[in-house]
Structure 1
Amino acid sequence: MRPVVRRALVRHAVLTAVVAAVLSAITVGGLWLFANGEAHRTARDVAGRVATAVGVALSAHHYDPVHPTSRDEILRGLAPFVDSGMLARVKIWRVVGDQVQVVVSDEPRIEGERRRFDADLARRLDAGEIVVLRVPDDPEHRYERAEDRALLEAFVGFRDAWGVPMRLEVYVPVDTAATVRSAMAHLLPLVIGSLLVLAAATVPITLSLARRVERDQRERQAVLHYGLAASERERRELAQVLHDGVVQDLADTGLLLDALLLDETDGGRRELLGRAHGLVERDVGLLRGLLTELAPGGLGIPDIRTSLQELAAEHERGAAGTPLETTVDVADEPDAQVVALLHRIGRELLRNAVRHGAPGVVRVAVDTPGPGRVRMTVTDDGRGFDPTAPPGDGHVGLRLVALAVEERGGTLDVRSAPGDGTVVEVTLPARLPELLPSPLGSPER
């Protein structure tokens, strides 16, 4: 397994594990909130049922003080709810001024205890609301805490036979943790299983993206290697031309001038001067050719027709035997920067066509496909290739062109098939802002 693919699979697995952990935590938290809300709803429902069953009987008594017969009758009415486990404990509170007092309870040791009157609770109870609260951890609830089970306290308001405000407090057993565990046992496997199925289904997408990234990295490395190698090759070729051509000719010219100074005959001087003139003229032509390759259009601002003529001249010098046909039909002259970029793109496409396609003829056409656009089309009748196949070693010329065109806001269209030749269309804006360095070289020197 290749390193990029292996790293992608590891990241996929780690991401799946992280998402599973986060999703599990969210699910458990949601279940806990749901179970807690359900416990409060259950306590409210139980308190409502108890109040409906014994409310009339409770309102028939007075509680200041509570007669023993009334106390026994009240507890007998509440006993079925306690004995069945629906309630863990019951208390009846009487409002006494700014305090409330326990007047009846199934736990006789807390009868008579008082606490401060809660105005907000009284307001809610007087409005007919059943108020459910968690059992606090305080001395008042020491016996409820001793039950060693989760309880919720629910308050229901009523009035006794004398019209005094009263509160029925019932303690309802709940098991939120068991509810959460039960729901988790059914829901978590479904959630985690669905996530794992989704993760498995997206593995091919992850592998495809990893391979695409790896291919792009290889292409960029190849482009960089190609650019460095091309730059080094151009420097060597330039040094070779200067050493074997210009430098040698200038040395010969110096020797001829020395001989001219020593020659005393007019005929000999004319011959030497002619030879020196020929060497200098040849070197000037050679330097002009190098200048054209290094900066299309020389030191001036070329137009598209001149640039195409120079491109044809370069092609004739470097690819003798492969005819080149050029046509220009533009409505507006593009910017000099665009002309220079098209020159380099055309040079690269011509080299590719001759080097890899072995064509019988190559055609380069420049036209205007629309307002503010210019198009260069390079067509050859060579062996062609499959544009969808990954480029082989040393076949990154089109990638270079694509990068240069993309950076300039243009488009590249390649149409080819094995044995059917190749057509490459490059479309660029006719006017460009300040250009960044191009993979094919800077447009300006």
Structure 2
Amino acid sequence: MARPSLRKPALFRPFESPANHNSEVFKAVRRFLLMGLVALVVVTTPVAFWIWSEAERHALENSKEATDHLANNVVGPLLDAEVLSGAPTAVERLDERLRPWMGETSVFEIRLWDKDGRIVYSDDPKLIGHTFGLPHEAQEVLDGGDVPANLEMQKDEVNTPNVENGELVEVYVPVTAPDGQKLVFETYYDDDGVRQEQAAVLFGMAPPFLLSLAVLQLAQLFPAVQLARRIQAYEAGRSRLLRRAIEASELERQRIARDLHDEVIQELSGLSYVMESEELHSPPGQRALFSDARRILQDNVRSLRAMTSELYPPDLNRLGLSGALARLGDPLEERGISLELDLPDQCELDRDRAALFYRVAREALANTAKHSRAAKAELHLHQDGDRSEIRIQDDGCGFDQSEGSPEGHFGLRIMKDTIGEAGGTLQVMSAPGRGTTVVARFGAGGNKVPSSFDHEPEPVPSA
């Protein structure tokens, strides 16, 4: 049987420490703050777009109100017959009245349409008196509809060179001449005013909004820290209970093993010597009977001694986990099963997890010896940072997992619950004629079985 090289004793870390507790709380708080920041971005992004949209709508309403005031209070009273007929003096008088609006505001273009599509007035004199296709917005206004102001890439319907084909505010409002004739007043505004109002509203509302969310986040931070500490305290308490349960189980095993060794095995060994003496001094006809009884008794003594070895594990602190696992091959050799070991020189596991790994290996190899009819078994122990794994595999008869675990695997079912409480996983994989594989893991990704175990386990090649 291959023996690992044990140049150094195994190292054991404390099961938990206050520094670990504080680190876990810090990680939980950091995750909480990170999720809060993500939530802040998720919430503020649509709110910012909503504020931007509302500010644009408000600015467009202001533009429409300004246009309506200009049309009905400035232009409307001047729409006499001369203006409607296009008389140059009347148009010049209207130009003079509107010139301050064109110079002091962001108005780019003014047009006055009648119901026939004729431009009654425009700041571009060449358009006055010409007839074009009436814009559908103007027709809607003439029909009594309410056309909202819109901000978009504008296309000049009458192809005037002084109107910028860009993003402009377009407004249509109705205006009534003194003679009762209904016309449409059309204006174009620069989008700078709308954008400035949008930015002013957004940056005005952003600080109090963000401050409110930050205060809410901080208000939740303190309960979150307290909750993290309570959860950490609960986990620490559960770990202590688990450690005490394991210690109590080991102490009970030691007591039973000591009682068997000091009382039952000693008495049976003495009885074996007595029977050997009786065999030597008994009549020839009875010697075969005494010989068979003595052999059965000695076999039972050996079985009891093997049981005490299983019940009373070696000192893990003295031998280390690798050294203790190496001793598990002795009972297998007595049954003709070879054990191949793949063990590291050092295994930095805390005492409790090392004990759990040892118990898994002991239970799995005991099942191999008693039930598998295997010729060869393998035991692999690996550790990579916080991740650790032990794997026991044999080339025995296996069993059908769909029918549940055999009665001999009851101990492993108990170990699965115990390891689960300690934060690890244990899986038993088997198939008829394909052997059995037992895998126990601790650390990151402990709930995921490695890809090499995603399918039925391959049997260990026969020696």
| TM-score of the pair, normalised by structure 1 | 0.50
Bigger relative contact order (CA 8 A; separation at least 6): 2
